[in-house]
Amino acid sequence: MHITPIQLRFNDIDQMGHVNNAVIMEFFDLGKSEYFTAIGLPPEEGEFTVMVVRVEVDFHKQIRYHDHVHVTTSVDHFGNKSLAVRQQVVDDTTGEAYASCRTVMAGYSRSTHRGAIIPDTIKEKILRYEQSGQPQE
């Protein structure tokens, strides 16, 4: 599991006094980006990448301006051409989840602009990271 600290900004807050749901989606995107960079698959580099094809979000509790949160990210399922990412926005102090997300991402070839099989090397990097919490060379 990867942990991404989140710094709440004044402009994240909407007229209702809580973090806007659209901003929470940005937190999840940041968590995915940090996760894939940590395993050695930076989103902006390389021939192979993954792209979002489905997102499911549950909002459990409002995030207020003075709350302290982080995003947890892990991959919990592989297919031949896709993987599932589980995430939560979590209270730093209590561990309580503010929002939960499941994202299906598909393998993608930048040169052909088509879906691609997830290389075994990428699966191995993810599995090693999930088991140790540390990127492997």
Q: What is the pLDDT along the chain (137 residues), one digit of tens a residue?
A: 999 999 999 999 999 889 999 999 999 999 999 999 998 888 788 899 999 999 999 999 999 999 999 999 999 999 999 999 999 999 999 999 999 999 999 999 999 999 999 999 999 999 999 988 665 54
Q: What is the pLDDT of residue 132?
A: 82
- Residue 43 pLDDT: 76
Assign 76 to helix, strand or coil. Answer: strand
Q: Cα dihedral angle (83, 119, 106, 69), rounded to 10 degrees?
A: 50
Neighbours of 135 (CB within 10 A): 13
Partnered with residue 64 across adjacent β-strands are 18
Q: What integer pLDDT is reported at residue 109 of this predicted model?
A: 94
